[in-house]
Amino acid sequence: MTNEPEYMIKKIFCNVMGVEESYVNDDTAYNSFDKWDSLKHLQLVSEYEDQFDLEFQMDDIIAMENFGLIKETIAKYLAE
C-alpha cells in the first residue's frame, strides 16, 4: 500500500472517531476507546466505501477490529 491511501485511511478514521492522528496506530482497536461503537463502525465503513469506491463484504466489515486490520482489508480490496 502506498502512503497516500494509508494517509487517507488514517485521516478518515480520525475524522469519524474525533481523535488526533497521533492517537491512532495499528493496534488501535474497537475496545480501546468508547467512541468506537457499532454506529461509528458503520460510519467508518461507509466513509471508506465512498472515498475508495469499494463495497465490502459483511465478513470483512466484521473483521475490521483494529486500525491495522482496516488498512489490510482496504489494501486487499484496492488490489482486486
- pLDDT for 1 equals 44
Average of per-residue pLDDT values in the chain: 94
What does the pLDDT look like over 55-65, one tens digit per residue? 999 999 999 99
The residues near 47 (Cβ < 8 Å, ≥ 6 apart) are: 12, 15, 16
State the pTM of this model: 0.91
What per-residue string of b and e applies to 41-73 under the rule 16 or more CB within 10 Å gives b? beebbebbeeebebebeeebeeebebbeebbbb
DSSP H or E stretch at residue 17: helix 3-17
